[in-house]
Amino acid sequence: MNRKFFAYMTAFIITLTATLAEGDTLPIPKQKWSFEGPTGTFKQDALQRGYQVFKEVCSACHGLNRISYEKLMGIGLSKNTVKALAAEHDQPDLNDEGQPIQRKGIISDKIHSPYANDKAARASNNGALPPDLSLITKARAGGSNYIYALLTGFCAAPADTPVTEGMHYNPYFSGRQIAMAPPLFDGQVTYTDGTKATVDQMAKDVVTFLSWAAEPEMEQRKQMGVKVIFYLLIMSIVLYLSKRKIWKDVK
């Protein structure tokens, strides 16, 4: 009985703590995304700008370990461009004798991680582990809207709210304090298409790219879904008319 009671109380405390933590944040504003809805699609210009922000800003601390370089052809980059991106970083490998070596990156490699392992990542960030961003828009409640709010939500803390040394105030983060410094500022990147690089623009672009990275096959899935629904609709009409014809003389 005591063990059951202890287990129930532990579960209750964990649930209560999580609920209080969520309640300590501001409501997440909803943004309009081109990829939302049953027929939503990714805009290639936004994807390419978003990858540029990821590469020039986010990749200094965060990996994208589930995406290979060749996948980037899906956002409209040429094969030669992707080959050049992959070749920027050497990759660990084994030679024919099984000895560890470093070789030039190829397009089938996963996108380069800034750290060799989690311990190295923590050591470089005062003990904090920067999350891999491959599935970040799927892994966080609020998805794309939450990531956008987090990137643009940094501000000065209220006068009655002490901020721990090394932390930064963000009302959308659980506990309102986050180890990550504000990652974006106006003019931080120079977009190749001439778009003005405001914090809002860069946040929307990189969130669009990360949403694509979490599900590169989203557009194909939606297209298949529309085709299946259309097929089922046609078949329903055919079956209904067949039923009417077969049973028309039966009263």
Q: pLDDT tens, 150-190?
A: 999 999 999 999 999 989 999 999 999 999 999 999 999 99
The mean pLDDT value for 211-226 works out to 91
pLDDT confidence of residue 230: 87
Please state, in angstroms and rounded to a whole number, the distance separating the CA atoms of residues 143 and 33.
12
Contact 111, 54 (CB under 8 A): no
Instruction: Give the percent of the chain with pLDDT over 70.
Output: 90
Instruction: Identify the architecture of domain 41-67+110-242 in CATH.
Output: Orthogonal Bundle (1.10)
The mean pLDDT value for 107-125 works out to 92
Please state, in angstroms and rounded to a whole number, the distance separating the CA atoms of residues 38 and 19.
31
49-59 burial, b at 16+ Cβ within 10 Å, e below that, comes to bbbbbbbebbb
pTM to 2 decimal places: 0.83
Q: Checking phi first, is residue 245 left (phi over 0); if not, alpha (psi -120 to 50) or beta?
A: alpha
Closest CA to 130 of 203, 186, 31, 54: 54
Please state, in angstroms and rounded to a whole number, the distance separating the CA atoms of residues 77 and 48.
8
The two three-digit tokens of residue 248, written as one number: 């028309």
The mean pLDDT value for 1-15 works out to 44
Cα of 155 vs its chain's centroid, Å: 23
Beta-carbon-side half-sphere exposure of residue 97 (alpha carbons within 13 Å): 3
Please state, in angstroms and rounded to a whole number, the distance separating the CA atoms of residues 64 and 51.
11
pLDDT confidence of residue 167: 93
In the block, tokens 């986010």 appear at 58
Question: Is the pLDDT reported for residue 4 higher than 60?
Answer: no
